[in-house]
Structure 1
Amino acid sequence: MKKKVLNVLSIIFGLLLINGGLDKFLHYMPVPEDLPAALQADNLAFMEIEWLMPLVGFAELLGGILILFPKTRALGALVVFPVMIGVLLTHFFVAPEGLVIALIIWAILLWIIFENRSKYLKLLE
């Protein structure tokens, strides 16, 4: 049962990442009009570095695809880990209204990492 729940949550998480990654390239999701000024400033600064947004989008897209499949899920978690640190810090310091969702997503990521810990420990041997 636990494995099935993790698989379902991993698929949702992977699809969320794929959606976010694709939006970095295709810009199909509307930007909310009521974004806090600090978050708007951060987004503008982020987009000034021309290569950064495509890099994050690529990491989200690749990590999301890898997380969909149990065999590559551990690698996908490593790929999206830096992006997820940015998401958590953004919601912690700039946009706290989204912190609850960010923490739920982080819980899924940490569960994926925990369940694949034996694969990571081999890297440290």
Structure 2
Amino acid sequence: MKIVKTILFVLFALMFINAGMDKFFHYMPMPEFPAEMMKINEAMMTLKWILPLVATIEILAGILVLMPKTRALGAVMIFPVMIGILCHNATFMPEGLLIAGVFFAINIWILIDNKEKIKHLIS
């Protein structure tokens, strides 16, 4: 079970590192979006600071999740981004909701797995 958990957590971290790097270097092709999504993307592009901020958080949190000692901090950092991804997929791209839900579940698993490190933040 520990090997499966480690593999899932590493894949989770690498996915966010990759997503963050793509926001800076644009090496993955963009899929075709409906007109409504294009308006949202254009609105996001007018805010010059938002994508670099999200990308930096994704990269930093992904690196932190890779290391067991800092995994809890990385999971806490990526949690608001995951909420945004879930809400975005639920509202505009329901076909991506399954994979977003899986990654959200992995994030929750990391948080529960590290609840002793995190509980003093909540209490």
Smaller-chain TM-score bracket: over 0.9
- Identity of counterpart residues, as a percentage? 50
**TM-score of the aligned structures, taking structure 2 as reference length:** 0.95
1:6–1:112 contact (8 Å) kept in structure 2: no
Please give the residue correspondences for 1:86-125 in structure 2 after superposition, counting only pairs within 5 Å.
Answer: 86-125=84-123
Please give the residue correspondences for 1:1-125 in structure 2 after superposition, counting only pairs within 5 Å.
Answer: 1=1, 3-33=2-32, 35-125=33-123
Distance 1:37 1:119 in 2: 44
Q: Please, which moves more after superposition, 35-44 or 83-92?
A: 35-44
4+ residue runs of structure 1 moved beyond 6 angstroms? none
**TM-score of the aligned structures, taking structure 1 as reference length:** 0.93
Provide Cα deviations, 1:28-84, integer angstroms capped at 9, x if missing partner.
111112x22222221211111000000000000001111111111000011111111
Distance 1:4 1:104 in 2: 18
1:21–1:58 contact (8 Å) kept in structure 2: yes
Structure 2 unaligned blocks of 5 or more: none
Amino acid paired to 1:11: V
Aligned residue pairs total 123
Amino acid paired to 2:84: G
Distance 2:34 2:18 in 1: 23
CA deviation after TM superposition for structure 1 residue 4, in Å? 2.0
Amino acid paired to 1:76: G
Structure 1 unaligned blocks of 5 or more: none
Change (3 A) 1:42 1:117: same
Distance 1:57 1:81 in 2: 14
Distance 1:56 1:124 in 2: 24
